[in-house]
Amino acid sequence: MEKLQFLSYVRIDGIPTIRNTQIRDIYNRCVETGIADMLFHDGSINDSEDFLQHVTRADVIFTLIFVPGENEPMGFFWLNRLERTHAYCHFAAFPEYWGKPVTVKAGQQAMDWCLHTFHTIMGMVPISNKYAIDYLYRVGLKDVGDIPNLIWSAKEEKPVTGKLMYITREALNESIHKD
What domains can be seen in the chain, in order of their start residue? 5-178 (3.40.630.30)
Q: How far is residue 144's CA from residue 157's CA, in Å, rounded to a whole number?
A: 25
Distance, in Å, from the CA atom of 42 to the CA atom of 154, rounded to the nearest integer, reads 5
Going by the DSSP 8-state scheme, the letter that residue 2 receives in this structure is P
Tens of pLDDT, residues 125-162 = 999 999 999 999 999 999 999 999 999 999 999 999 99
pTM of structure? 0.93
What are 25-74's pLDDT values in tens digits? Answer: 999 999 999 999 999 999 999 999 999 999 999 999 999 999 999 999 99
pLDDT attached to residue 179: 57
- How many whole angstroms separate alpha carbon 74 and alpha carbon 172? 21
Q: Crossing angle, helix 48-55 and helix 20-33, to 10 degrees?
A: 130
